Structure 1
Amino acid sequence: MPSSRIPSAWIVAAALAAAVTPGCGPPQSVTNAPEHYDMGSLDEVADLYNSAYNAKKKPPASIKDFVRGDLFVGGMNAIKKGEVVVYWGVTPTPGEPTQEILAYKADVPEKGGYVLLKDLTTKAMTADEFKAAPKPSGPTSADTAKPEAKKS
C-alpha cells in the first residue's frame, strides 16, 4: 500500500514559497512618504552636525564647518534650500536625552512636524510643543542664509 505521507522537503518548499509571495503579509512602509523624507533629512543633518563636531572638537558655526557634506547630500541640500533650520554653535549630546531643539523642518513652527533634538534623535512635535520646547539662543542657518540670498 503506497504511503500517503508528503515528503518533508515538499512541506518546507511550500512554506518558503508562501512566505515570499508578493502581496501577502502585513502592509509595508512606503519609503517615499513625506515623513520618511522629513526624518531622513534630519537624520542626515544629525550626521553632518555630529561629524563636524567630532572632527573639529567644537560645534559647527555655519554650513562651511560640515566636513562630510559629500556623504550627506540630502541633509546639506535641505539646509541650503531652507527646508531645515539648524542652530549653530550647539554641542550635540548623543545618549543624553533632552528636549532642546538642534534643527527643525522650516514649517514646524506653524504646522508642527519633525525636529532634531540636541541628543541627535528626531521627534514629531505639534506647533505648540515646538513653541514651548527649549531652543539655543545662538544664530540659525536661516539667519546666516539671509545675507547670502541678498547677494544672489
Structure 2
Amino acid sequence: MGRGVLLLLGVFALIGCSESSRSVTDSPGTDATLREVGGMIQLYSGEHKKGPKKPTDFAKYENGYPLGYQAVQSGEVVVVWGAKVGGEGEAASGPADVIAYEKKSPTEGGWVLLQNLKTKQMTAEEFKAAPKAK
C-alpha cells in the first residue's frame, strides 16, 4: 500500500476511535435518569391520583423510561414511595421536597429529584437536612 492510503486509513481509524469514546462521555447521567424517574412518578400520579407504592407500579412505563425504570429496579435510585407530583404545569409549582435520589446521597451526597421535577446535586449534609416528600 502507498503512504497516502496508509495515512487515510490512519485518519479513519482515529475518527472511529474518537466517535466511540465520545459516545461513552455523552451517555446519559444520573440527572437524566432521575428525570425519567420523575416522568414515571408524574404519569402514575396522574393516572391513579396517588403516588406509586412499589417498583412494580412503574412496569407499564418501562418502554418509555428505560433508564429510570432500570435504576429503580436495581436500587440505584431510591423513590420516596407514596409521594406524588402534580400534572404538567402543576409540578413546576410543587414543593422542593426530595422525591427520589441516588442511593449514595445519604452518605456520600449525589443527585436528587425534587417534587417540582427539578434535579440537583446535594452533599450528604444537605440531603439529610432536605425535606422529603410525603
Aligned to 2:55: 63
Aligned to 1:76: 69
Q: Secondary structure at the match of 2:96?
A: coil
* In 2: Cα distance, 1:128 partner to 1:70 partner: 35
Deviation at 1:64, TM superposition (A): 2.0
Structure 2 residues without counterparts, runs of 5 or longer? 1-21
Q: Secondary structure at the match of 2:56?
A: helix
The residue identity in structure 1 corresponding to 2:113 is L
Deviation at 1:89, TM superposition (A): 0.8
Sort the Cα spacing of 1:39 and 1:127 in 2 relative to 1 into closer, same or farther, 3 A: same
Structure 2 length-normalised TM: 0.71
Number of matched pairs: 108
Sort the Cα spacing of 1:92 and 1:32 in 2 relative to 1 into closer, same or farther, 3 A: farther
Q: Deviations over 1:42-61 (max 9, x none)?
A: 01100111111112222111
* In 2: Cα distance, 1:127 partner to 1:31 partner: 30
Deviation at 1:98, TM superposition (A): 2.8
Structure 1 residue corresponding to 2:41, chosen from 49, 53, 59: 49
* In 2: Cα distance, 1:132 partner to 1:114 partner: 15
Flag as ranges the 4+ runs of structure 1 deviating above 4 A: 30-36
Q: Deviations over 1:10-38 (max 9, x none)?
A: xxxxxxxxxxxxxxxxxxxx774599411
Aligned to 1:90: 83
Structure 1 residues without counterparts, runs of 5 or longer? 1-29, 138-152
The residue identity in structure 1 corresponding to 2:29 is Y
Q: Percent identity?
A: 35
The residue identity in structure 2 corresponding to 1:114 is W
| Structure holding more helix per residue | 2
Aligned to 1:135: 132
- Bigger Rg, structure 1 or 2: 1
Aligned to 1:149: none
Structure 1 length-normalised TM: 0.63
Pairwise mapping of residues 14-53 of structure 1 onto structure 2 (< 5 A)?
32-33=24-25, 36-53=28-45
* In 2: Cα distance, 1:98 partner to 1:34 partner: 31
Q: Secondary structure at the match of 2:78?
A: strand
